[in-house]
Amino acid sequence: VSLRVLHTSAPSSVAEAGAVVPTAADDDGRRGALRELYAPPSATWLRLNLIAAVSGDAAGEDGTSDTLSNDVDRAILAVVRELADGVVVGAASVRAEGYRVPRSSRLVVVTSSGDLSGHRMDPERAERVVVVCPASATDEVARTLGPGVASAATVLVVDDVEGRVAPDALLRRLREHGLLSLVCEGGPSLAGQFLRDGLVDELCLSTSPVVIGSGLPVFGRERFDPSRLTLSQLLMDDQSALYARWLVDARPATSR
Ligand SMILES: NC(=O)c1ccc[n+]([C@@H]2O[C@H](COP(=O)([O-])OP(=O)(O)OC[C@H]3O[C@@H](n4cnc5c(N)ncnc54)[C@H](OP(=O)(O)O)[C@@H]3O)[C@@H](O)[C@H]2O)c1
């Protein structure tokens, strides 16, 4: 599968408009060109990385993002993960998609209920699992993680209002814990809360060449004010999928 640069605001050896980007991993399992294309501009950073159909849906016909994705999308996802200290996901995505622990970064799961059943976390990688939840959820977290993972995972208790943790308090807690560069992979409801509260620095959005009525909008159902975005990079593969990096402008869109 080939991947081409359509636009970049930071031309370099790998990133000139028209350049073909190698996506295969080398002997070290690294994808050097993609790492350069996706390097975050600052050590403290919050990215969202999701995939949507052209219709704005976060799920394909199987009810998960799996059927929207392809090998290039998965290669980019792996690189964006590698470049982050922590991969943040909502518990419903863990239950729906089974989530594994990434190869190098931490997996941060946010839950109100503590129910992480259906996870596929390898006990050998459990030291890189971080669960953020209210105090009321810790027993259920331990039960549903199972003893192999729960014994080595870190549980960060954050103050809650009726079981919900405030997104800015959640980020503060993770950064106190040394996780500065974060990528939130969703799901839509968690991603939407970070956008609503103006906490996101960048959106990495893959667009899958399909329209579908899944009933699951990619940034959730909450209403929030607009934020202005600037396109910093756009890639396209030979299956018509697009991969954008959008920077979130610091000023609120309504102040222009
Ligand atoms: N297109 C994509 O890129 C993509 C990415 C990921 C997932 N998905 C799909 O999206 C769907 C799941 O997404 P979703 O939006 O329904 O759910 P989600 O965001 O994955 O998870 C929501 C859950 O996270 C926990 N949570 C969220 N905000 C919280 C807060 N402020 N405080 C405490 N806990 C909080 C709660 O867990 P509890 O329920 O445990 O209390 C909540 O029910 C699945 O179909 C999945 O396949 C798509």
Kindly report, residue by residue over 19-68, the tens digit of the pLDDT. Answer: 888 888 887 877 899 999 999 999 999 999 999 999 999 999 999 999 99
**pLDDT at residue 16 is higher than 90:** no
* Of 73, 85, 69, nearest in space to 31 by CA: 73
Mean residue pLDDT of the chain comes to: 94
| Token pair listed for 231 | 């396109």
Distance CA 28, CA 49 (A): 24
Q: Name residues whose C-beta falls within 8 Å of residue 38's C-beta, 6 or more positions apart in sequence.
A: 76, 79, 80, 83, 204, 245
pLDDT value of residue 253: 60
- H or E stretch covering 17: none
Helices (H), 83-121: 91-97
> How far does the centroid of ligand 1 lie from the alpha carbon of residue 167, in Å?
13
**Among residues 136, 137, 135, 126, which one has the least CA distance to residue 100?**
126
- State the closest ligand 1 atom to the C-alpha of 66, by its place in the atom list counted from 1: 47
Tokens 């999308």 — which residue?
73
Categorize the per-residue pLDDT at 252 as very low, low, confident or very high, splitting at 50, 70 and 90.
Answer: low
Residue percentage of the chain with pLDDT more than 70: 97
Centroid of chain to Cα 48: 5
Closest atom of ligand 1 to 190 CA is 19
Report the pLDDT averaged over residues 82-111: 96
Which of 76, 112, 173 has most ligand 1 atoms within 8 Å of its beta carbon, as the pocket-test mutant? 112
Alpha-carbon distance of 14 to 35, in angstroms, equals: 10
Does ligand 1 come within 6 angstroms of the Cβ of 69?
A: no
Average of per-residue pLDDT across 149-159? 97
Any idea of the CA torsion for 96, 98, 100, 105, to the nearest 10 degrees?
20
Q: What is the pLDDT of residues 181-240, one digit of tens each?
A: 999 999 999 999 999 999 999 999 999 999 999 999 999 999 999 999 999 999 999 999
Cα distance between residue 92 and residue 100, in whole Å? 14
CA of 96 to the centre of ligand 1 (A): 9
Q: What is the number of the ligand 1 atom nearest to the C-alpha of 50? A: 3
Of the two residues 27 and 4, the one the predictor is more confident about is 4
